[in-house]
């Protein structure tokens, strides 16, 4: 039994899915696959946007930031869990727990802000195409990216500091596979109403407000698209926004269901499942969504493969496979 604030604890025990051994093995395999695909997909996407000069545009600059966020967010959430499963230890040090709680929450908050500002970028590109290079110049893009990171990290710092001041009276076992802030709060036995109010205010600023900004941006975008006379122009405009909208729905849908669900709905098992989707599935799908639906990314990938000596061989193999499937 422990008494005092959270800083008096030296180690935490993570239950994860240990109550369901068969499920735990399945979750481990799925998480490992999601993590490897997330790393591979996002690293490839970042490399393409850096190496191909045709993709040196604001949209792909923000997309690179998003991919970088996804890599570190998934790493902070999944790496300790995968390591513990392999070693058979379900423990995490106090420093490791705080670091995981802070960085995973900060990355998620940063992504919320960044996705809303990416919607603004799409608004300027479609509604003010002639002024787009002037409005979204290099300096503005850097300021937007820096503002997103700063907002996410500062708001999370406030939450983390307040949580660490709370008293812990009882066990140091976290009923989760990671040091998720809501799971850590369940260890506290004192009144948490002030901290919960603070978290509600910050969560409202980080989740519903960006969603509102995204809805406003796309309302103007939709209005502008409907005024385009050519069918091809409308189709191109819709395809430009489709990938971003898909990512927004996946990311904010799971985030809202986790952090703004009614207090009456309190199931740790449901929270764990949502956390898996939020922390693993969404970052894994982001590069797939953006690359499969984006002709510029696919063209850039082909150009890079052609420059590489092994690239021509790979393209030839892919073309042969495609031809054989058509026979």
| Domain contains 251 | yes
Q: Is 168 helix (H, G, I), strand (E, B) or coil?
A: strand
pLDDT of residue 141: 92
pLDDT of residue 313: 44
pLDDT of residue 149: 93
| Domain contains 4 | no
| Domain contains 239 | yes
CA distances to 66, 148, 210, 266 from 206, in Å: 16, 10, 6, 22
| Domain contains 324 | no
| Domain contains 323 | no
| Domain contains 263 | yes
Q: How far apart are CA 120 and CA 215, in angstroms?
A: 10
Q: How far is Cα of residue 14 from the mean position of the Cα atoms in its chain?
A: 23
Q: How far apart are CA 109 and CA 174, in angstroms?
A: 22
| Domain contains 199 | yes
CATH of residue 28: 1.20.1070.10
Reported pTM? 0.81
pLDDT of residue 4: 53
Taking every pair of C-alpha atoms in the chain, what is the biggest distance, in angstroms? 71
Kindly give the interhelix angle for 282-292 and 21-51, rounded to the nearest 10 degrees.
40
pLDDT of residue 2: 47
Q: What is the 3-state composition of the chain as percent helix, strand, coil, each rounded to the nearest 5?
A: 80, 5, 15
DSSP 87-156: HT--EEEHHHHHHHHHHHHHHHHHHHHHHHHHHHHHHHHHHSTTTHHHHT-HHHHHHHHHHHHHHHHHHH
Count H helices and E strands in the chain, helices first: 13, 3
Token pair of 75 as six digits: 């790493």
- Could you list the residue range(s) of the whole structural domain that residue 238 is in? 11-315
| Domain contains 201 | yes
Pairing type for strands 173-174 and 11-14 reads parallel
Residues 6+ apart with CB under 8 A from 244: 115, 118, 119, 122
CA distances to 41, 99, 166 from 309, in Å: 21, 42, 59
Classify residue 16 as left (phi > 0), alpha (psi -120 to 50) or beta.
Answer: left
Length of the chain as a residue count? 327
The number of folded domains in the chain is: 1
Tens digit of each residue's pLDDT, the chain (327 residues):
445 556 567 788 888 777 777 777 888 888 899 899 999 889 888 888 888 888 888 888 998 998 899 898 888 888 888 888 888 778 888 888 888 889 888 988 898 899 888 889 888 988 888 899 899 999 999 999 999 999 999 999 988 888 888 777 667 788 888 888 888 888 887 777 888 888 888 888 888 888 888 889 888 888 888 777 777 667 766 766 777 777 888 777 777 776 666 554 556 667 777 777 777 788 888 888 777 667 777 777 777 777 665 555 444 544 554 454 444
| CB contact at 8 A, 243 and 293 | yes
Q: Number of C-alpha atoms within 13 angstroms, CB side, residue 186? A: 13
In the block, tokens 């490399």 appear at 47
């Amino acid at each position: 039994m422990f008494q005092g604030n959270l800083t008096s604890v030296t180690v935490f025990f993570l239950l994860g899915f240990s109550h369901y051994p068969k499920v735990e093995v399945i979750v481990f395999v799925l998480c490992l696959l999601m993590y490897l695909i997330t790393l591979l997909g996002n690293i490839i996407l970042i490399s393409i946007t850096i190496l191909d000069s045709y993709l040196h545009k604001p949209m792909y600059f923000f997309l690179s930031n998003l991919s970088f966020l996804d890599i570190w967010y998934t790493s902070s959430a999944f790496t300790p869990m995968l390591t513990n499963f392999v070693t058979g230890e379900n423990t995490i040090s106090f420093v490791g727990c705080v670091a995981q709680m802070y960085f995973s929450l900060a990355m998620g908050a940063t992504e919320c802000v960044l996705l809303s500002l990416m919607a603004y970028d799409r608004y300027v590109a479609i509604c003010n195409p002639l002024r787009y290079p002037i409005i979204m110049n290099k300096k503005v893009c850097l300021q937007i990216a820096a503002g997103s990171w700063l907002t996410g990290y500062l708001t999370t710092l406030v939450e983390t500091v307040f949580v660490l001041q709370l008293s812990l009276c009882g066990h140091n076992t976290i009923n989760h596979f990671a040091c998720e802030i809501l799971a850590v709060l369940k260890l506290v036995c004192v009144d948490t109403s002030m901290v919960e109010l603070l978290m509600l205010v910050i969560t409202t600023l980080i989740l519903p407000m960006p969603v509102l900004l995204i809805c406003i941006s796309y309302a103007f975008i939709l209005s502008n698209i409907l005024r385009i006379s050519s069918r091809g122009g409308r189709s191109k405009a819709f395809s430009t926004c489709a990938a971003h909208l898909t990512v927004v729905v996946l990311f904010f849908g799971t985030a809202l269901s986790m952090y703004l669900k009614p207090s009456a709905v309190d199931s740790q098992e449901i929270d764990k499942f949502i956390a898996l989707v939020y922390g693993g599935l969404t970052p894994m799908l982001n590069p797939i969504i953006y690359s499969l639906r984006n002709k510029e990314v696919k063209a850039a990938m082909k150009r890079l493969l052609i420059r590489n000596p092994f690239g021509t061989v790979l393209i030839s193999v892919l073309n042969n496979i495609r031809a054989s499937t058509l026979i």
